[in-house]
Structure 1
Amino acid sequence: MTLSCFDLGERMLSVGEARVRLASLIEAPLPAEHVALAELYGRVLAEDAVSPIDVPQNTNAAMDGIALAWPLADELPGEWRVVGEVLAGRCFDETLRAGECVRITTGAPLPTGADTVIMLEQLEEYGATLAVQQPEAVRRCQHVRQAGEDIPRGHTALHAGTRLGAAELGLLASLGLAEASVHCRPRVAIFSTGDEVTAPGEPLPLAGIHDANRYTLAGLLAEQGAELIDLGILPDNREAMVAALSDAAGHADMVITSGGVSVGHADFTRAALETVGRLAFWRIAIRPGRPLACGLLGERGVPFLGLPGNPVAVMVTFLQFVVPLLSKLQGRSEREPLRLTAIADEALKSRLGRTDFLRGRYYADTDGRLHVCSTGAQGSGILSSMVAANCLIELTDDRDGADPGETVSIQPLHRLP
């Protein structure tokens, strides 16, 4: 593998280099399966969705009113004779003649010969005729949706690699597609390790910590459309860990852990991982977020990522390094995080040669310009700072901070309303 995660000297990697090298862990996307429309939310198309019909199917009215044929004289008469009506879901089988019109509702197909709709609010009724108010304001072909103007028959409506949200599901439904071919969800196994790690809800020992990272990872994986395999809390026991990892390597598509993979001598996780697979340890010029381990487990070569143990570092490294790999597994192009530019409202500290990710809050001023400030203390164990944040402020390795008024790059964070 070129630029493999294992081809590494002792020097510190930049964030960009780490992303490139990590990509070597994924050789191909997961296979495809056909899934019913109702179950497609969040899935990623494995092949183009091609429209079998014109959308809309018929040229139809965009307004309630009357449909008519524009006169050859190109001057619109002030009165029209009503010869019928067309409701949505119905058709008018006759061809309109000069001076005739039909009442029509929004979405109803235009009769043969009709090419213009005048909205109801512009009409006055006089017996069997309708008078048009301000006829000079009427334009030929107004308030008409042409057949296929949204999506013509045979046109690619959605490309392979598209993640399906609410709008995309509606589009597939409008094509009459009851299912689609999508990549399988990545099955991601996660676990926590250590005799000091205590499950939430259980009494906390004097030297214990509650298991926060596993639940943070579960939420992050759900956002990325992955299927969680929760291995729970594994004890500091090499045999138990080897058994759990061997089992995960047999049916997971990726294994992620946080903490417990340092180069320390009393590290059971590291020893177990090296028994089950091949492991590399990286020093990355990033804060928070080091060290990071990567590797392949079992005969299938399942990608493994060992994230740092501090809660904020877990989230930052997941967003920078794990998200691109999950995207690649689902057949999406490798993508950089979404970035916006904002004006710093305060001095922001960083260090040359290292990329710093600060937790921040951005907002728009009255002129629509984005501003950002930090959430305060930036320790990598302060998880409340991530709760307060709606973005990461990215200070790249070529700058030593930012002064008030300078522009900085921000990465918006997913937040439930």
Structure 2
Amino acid sequence: MKKILLAPNPTGTGHNMRMLTIAKKLKTIDPKLEITVLLGSRQDVFTTLFQEADIKVVDLNPTGIIDFSQSSHLEKNLNWDSMISKYFVPTFFNGDKILHYLQLIDEQEADLLISDYNINASFAAVMAGIKTVFVTERHNFTLVDVKIEDLILGGFTVNQEEIRSAQKDLNRLFKWLVKSTDLIITDKLFLDSFESDKYLQSNLEKVHFTGSMYLEEQSKEKTLDFDYLKIDKTLPYIVATVSSTTMLAENKNKNFEFYEETFKVLKKAVPELQMVLIGASEKPQKAGGLIKLPYIPNWKELIQNSALLISHPGWITVTEVAYLNIPTIFYLSSFMEYHELEAYKRLEEVGTPVFSGYDIPEFCALIKKVLSQQVDFIAAYQKLTPTHNGLTEAAELIMKLIVNGGE
């Protein structure tokens, strides 16, 4: 029996969901696989989901639930100290965490570790000498893919010499990770205009683009209780969400305020319209057509019945809506949320509707254009997820590594 460890990056709900999806698919191929997830965030939501899928859960934070949407991760002054010493090292390249993962690999007697952009776990697996899979929507560390000018435009005060040095060193570190990993699976399409894509494309013997790794489970999905959620299904509604990981907490608050002010304007033109804000409340609340909900892990029915989704450009959400053909505007509140800037620009190049900033009339004009079906999503979505077999392809690549070491 093969023992597999899942190590989702604990900085966002999407990493947990993608690991859950892959684990479920692996279990359908070989039910005897012994799979354990090292869960480091949103244990309140995901512990039960993994356990229901017959996945053992090791809670990395048993003393409390970790939710990275509730705090800032960066300062407005970007230099080596704020970016590397205070952010990158504690979060992604942490010696204490690497040693802890080494201990867990030994305790669990793991044969294979599947990391979902969990850099600490990937380094530990390489050091432990076990087979390693790196699942990622990023083709390099985020800072490497961002231009200094865009950071300045976003409002950061940038020590350009130190940040350029950090970009150079992080790029070298990522290339080492690619070289040392047995299999790399990405759901993000390659574009010639992005420098980081070129290096991954030069390693196609181990790097594979699958498109969306979405799991269809119609027979098992629970029907949403729209009455409990306070949503009138007979009337049109827009679903709006913000990132579960924010660089500056104030941006999340401004994001929700911007949505609410936008809704007030739209409501005047379309009185029956509703807006559903995901992650804006711990329990359903409704006032004047504005509905605030907690995070909903299985939101397929919600977005399929919506007139429009407004979402941050988190790539796991991108691939899901492309797979399901959901009309979506990808919104980035500020270039200070630099961790999603590369995805934003990639989506803009592909041809999906994107918007950044706080210009309400301009945003309303774009929303009305999408609602009146003046935007064609199909061509862009076909580029983002060219087939509906991405999950099967990813699982088969992993199974090949499990069965014969990738030979």
TM over 0.5: no
Query: TM-score, normalised on structure 1?
Result: 0.25
When you count strand as a share of all residues, which structure comes out higher? 1
Structure index of larger Rg: 1
Query: TM-score, normalised on structure 2?
Result: 0.26
When you count helix as a share of all residues, which structure comes out higher? 2
